[in-house]
């Protein structure tokens, strides 16, 4: 009888710890999804597809820029979900020819459309998501200057140092959020949901 009880006890202990591990993973996943929501998902999906931007990139930018607050306004005067500046708005209005007023960027649909358009413009200009994010934050003129400066680039002209602390921090935060969104919701870099 003792020989039967011992393997059963070991099996119960293993099952108990596996169950604890499963519950811990489940709770952790729920907490991560709460801190990395997919608010305004229909809007994000629509404009991610329209502008060829992976969904997890747009979600990460919105999380970093405004924390999904459509009424957010920065000290620099950037507004809405994607924290569009007046200059970026002028660029997107010229591209989209839609005549929206700057105040219209408080509307989530308008803001994400213009933000995605501007982010795509930065990607077209620099051909790299990290540089596109740097340009989204610091402006394309600054990124162009940095790429011409040998103190900030390697021998191949690749940016190795971002001289603005805020932009370095921004890129790091967006990259971290992109990794989390990718892990939590997507199976590929193309933004296919898991």
The question of whether 166 is a catalytic residue gets the answer no
Which listed residue (65, 155, 179, 193) is catalytic?
65
Token pair 């200059």 in the structure block, residue: 87
Dist. CA 18–CA 96, nearest whole Å: 54
Q: Which of the residues are catalytic?
A: 65
């Amino acid at each position: 009888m003792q020989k039967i009880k011992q393997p059963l006890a070991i099996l119960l202990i293993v099952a108990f710890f596996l169950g604890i591990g499963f519950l811990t993973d489940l709770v952790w996943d729920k907490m991560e999804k709460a801190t990395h929501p997919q608010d305004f998902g229909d809007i994000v999906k629509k404009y991610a597809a329209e502008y060829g931007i992976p969904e997890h990139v747009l979600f990460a930018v919105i999380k970093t820029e405004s924390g999904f607050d459509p009424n957010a306004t920065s000290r620099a005067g950037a507004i809405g979900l994607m924290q569009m500046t007046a200059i970026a708005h002028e660029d997107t209005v010229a591209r989209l020819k839609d005549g929206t007023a700057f105040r219209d960027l408080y509307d989530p649909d308008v803001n994400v459309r213009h933000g995605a358009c501007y982010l795509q413009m930065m990607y077209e200009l620099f051909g790299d998501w990290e540089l596109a994010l740097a340009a989204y934050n610091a402006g394309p003129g600054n990124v162009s200057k940095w790429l011409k400066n040998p103190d900030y680039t390697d021998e191949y002209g690749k940016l190795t140092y971002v001289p603005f602390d805020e932009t370095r921090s921004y890129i790091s935060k967006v990259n971290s959020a992109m990794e989390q969104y990718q892990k939590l919701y997507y199976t590929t870099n193309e933004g296919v949901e898991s």
